Amino acid sequence: MTDNELLQEILAVTQSLKTDVSSLKTDVQSLKTDVQSLKTDVQSLKTDVSSLKTDVQSLKTDMKFVKTDVQQLKSDMQDTKHRITSLELTLENETNRNIRLIAEGHLDLSRKLDQALVVENQKEMLLIRVNTLENEMRKLKEQMVTTS
């Protein structure tokens, strides 16, 4: 093989290597672009995760307040139930009994009123009868005076 041929072959190999290196450079550039895009995406994800952590922490704090409020509501509800039970017992044991006593007293008063009204009606009837008899007596006296 001559020097010229050897140089030609070296040139061909060099050209092939140059093409391969150029192709590798393009591939590396593409990889760099992809890695940069991944870095941007990872940074965006980090920001989102950080935001989510903040939101979760805020929710935890809010849940503590909600739990406290619910506990207070349970306590208030228990107090209200106790008060209602107390009121029911008062109504049942005292108020209803007092109403029954008043009603019995009213019934006695009603009977006494009915008896008094009967006597009053009898009295009125007697007064009417006395009035009628007085009128008849007066008429009889007038007749006697006029006939004598």
Q: What is the pLDDT along the chain (148 residues), one digit of tens a residue?
A: 788 898 899 999 999 999 999 999 999 999 999 999 999 999 999 999 999 999 999 999 999 999 999 999 999 999 999 999 999 998 888 888 888 888 888 888 888 888 888 888 999 999 999 999 999 999 999 999 888 7
pTM over 0.95: no
Contacts (Cβ under 8 Å, ≥6 apart) of 9: 1
3-state helix, strand, coil in the chain (%, to 5): 100, 0, 0
